Amino acid sequence: MKVTVCELPHELDALEAAWSALCDHTGAEASELVVLPEFVFVEPLWLLDRFDAVAWSHAEAVADHWLQRLPELRAGYVVGTRPVTAGDKHYNEGFLWSPGGGIVPLRRKFYLPDQNGGFEARWFDRGTADFPVYAAGELSFGLNICTELWALDSCRAYASTDATAIIAPRATSATTTGKWLSLGTVAAVTSGCYCLSSNRVQSDGACGGVGWIIEPDGALLARTSSIERFCTREIELERSRRARTTYPRYVFMPPAA
C-alpha cells in the first residue's frame, strides 16, 4: 500500500501553495493513503489560554471548507483531525475520508495537555479512552492523536489486534523532534505496526514539521523536511502481520486458552 506523510502550514497563502504541491505529489505517486497533520488547515487555537467561541466557530468553518477539497488529493483514503461541536462539547476528532464514503468520524482525542504552548484541555473536551482499530481498505490502523502516542499501553494493546499501522497526526515543536522520532520508533516496535505521522509546520518553529514512516522493527523509511515536505513509500502490510510472532510483540499476546 502506498502511503504519504507530510508537513503543512496553516497560514492561508503558505497553505494554498503547500496544498497544491501536495496534490501534485499524491497524484503523481498514486498515493492510496494520505496522513494529514493534527487539526490541519486551522489556526493553533491551543496557544490561547482561554476558550473563545468565535474563534472556535471560525475554525470549524475553515476546516469544513478545506475538507471539501480532499478529493483534490486523488487518494483512496485520507486521515486527519478536525474541530467538531457536539451539543455544548468541543472535540478534536479524527476522521477518515474516502471518495465513496466521504467523511467518517473516528475517535476523539482523550489525552489533553494544559500548559504554555498547548492549552488543549481548555479548548477541547475529552473523548473516550478507547483506542479501537479502524480499516482503510486493506490497512487496519489505530489512531493516536499527537500526545496520545505517549499512551504506550495502547501500542502494546495493538500488538494483540489486527492493526497494521498506528496513525499519529501531530502538532509538535521543532525543539522536540528528536524525542518524537524516538517515540515513533518505540510505538512501532512495541506494536509491530508501521507508525505513520504528519506534523504541522510554522516558520517560528512552534510546530516543527517532520512527518515519518517507520517500519514495525523500527527502521525509518521516510522523514519529511523543509527540502522534502511530502514523502510516499510502499508499505508491506504482511510484514506487520508477521511481526506479531516476533519479540517483543508476542509477549503482549493474550495467553492461549
Domain ranges of the chain: 2-252
Beta-carbon contacts of residue 57 (< 8 Å; ≥ 6 apart): none
The pLDDT score that the predictor gives to residue 257 is: 61
The structure's pTM equals 0.97
d(C-alpha 83, C-alpha 133), whole Å: 21
**Cell representation of residue 8:** 503543512
Exposure pattern of 215-230 as b/e (b: 16+ CB <10 Å)?
bbeeeebbbbeeeebb
The pLDDT score that the predictor gives to residue 252 is: 84
Per-residue pLDDT of the chain (257 residues; tens, 9 = 90+): 999 999 999 999 999 999 999 999 999 999 999 999 999 999 999 999 999 999 999 999 999 999 999 999 999 999 999 999 999 999 999 999 999 999 999 999 999 999 999 999 999 999 999 999 999 999 999 999 999 999 999 999 999 999 999 999 999 999 999 999 999 999 999 999 999 999 999 988 899 999 999 999 999 999 999 999 999 999 999 999 899 889 999 998 877 66
Beta-carbon contacts of residue 239 (< 8 Å; ≥ 6 apart): 215, 216
The pLDDT score that the predictor gives to residue 254 is: 78
d(C-alpha 117, C-alpha 44), whole Å: 9
Fold of 2-252: Nitrilase/N-carbamoyl-D-aminoacid amidohydrolase (3.60.110)
The pLDDT score that the predictor gives to residue 256 is: 67
